[in-house]
């Protein structure tokens, strides 16, 4: 499977996650988001950039929903609810957000 982005083919696995996170750029994110049915807003980009920063600059950390809520609350000045995050990423913020951010699929189990 692959995404077609600006005339190039970007490889991904069977679940739509990039085979190589280094292939990611904002155009790739837009194509993945469109395939997921997500229209990206500034808040989406805040979450995407946060997830990428955590992964690449914090020992490949992939935060769970609770941590994302807490950290986005700091950035946005008021803590979003779980419903707010699921409005942004309906198929689970940590997983769908990571997919759009070009990160590997998380293998973390549920719970906090």
Q: Is residue 106 part of a domain?
A: no
- Per residue in 51-79, pLDDT (tens digit) is 999 999 999 999 999 999 999 999 999 99
Q: Is residue 54 part of a domain?
A: yes
pLDDT at 112 over 70: no
DSSP-assigned beta bridge partners for residue 10: 3
- Per residue in 20-44, pLDDT (tens digit) is 999 999 999 999 999 999 999 999 9
Q: Which of 106, 110, 85 lies closest to 95, judged by CA?
A: 106
Q: Is residue 111 part of a domain?
A: no
Domains identified in the chain, total number: 1
Do 102 and 16 meet the contact criterion of CB atoms below 8 Å apart? no
pTM, 2 dp: 0.92
Q: Is residue 105 part of a domain?
A: no
| Cα gap 20→62, rounded to integer Å | 16
DSSP-assigned beta bridge partners for residue 88: none
Return the H-helix or E-strand segment holding 28.
helix 26-36
Length of the chain: 112
Q: What pLDDT shows up at residue 3?
A: 96
- Per residue in 81-100, pLDDT (tens digit) is 999 999 999 999 999 999 99
Its domain, for residue 11, covers 2-100
Q: What pLDDT shows up at residue 81?
A: 95
Share of the chain above pLDDT 90, in %: 92
Alpha carbon 67 to chain centroid, angstroms: 14
Share of the chain above pLDDT 70, in %: 96
């Amino acid at each position: 499977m692959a995404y077609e982005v600006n005339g190039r083919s970007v490889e991904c696995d069977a679940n739509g996650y990039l085979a190589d996170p280094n292939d990611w750029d904002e155009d790739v994110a837009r194509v993945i988001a469109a395939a997921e049915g997500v229209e990206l807003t500034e808040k989406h980009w805040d979450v995407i950039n946060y997830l990428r920063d955590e992964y690449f600059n914090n020992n490949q950390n992939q935060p769970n929903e609770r941590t994302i809520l807490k950290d986005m609350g700091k950035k946005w000045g008021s803590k979003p609810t779980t419903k707010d995050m699921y409005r942004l990423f309906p198929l689970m913020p940590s997983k769908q957000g990571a997919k759009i951010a070009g990160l590997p699929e998380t293998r973390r189990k549920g719970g906090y």
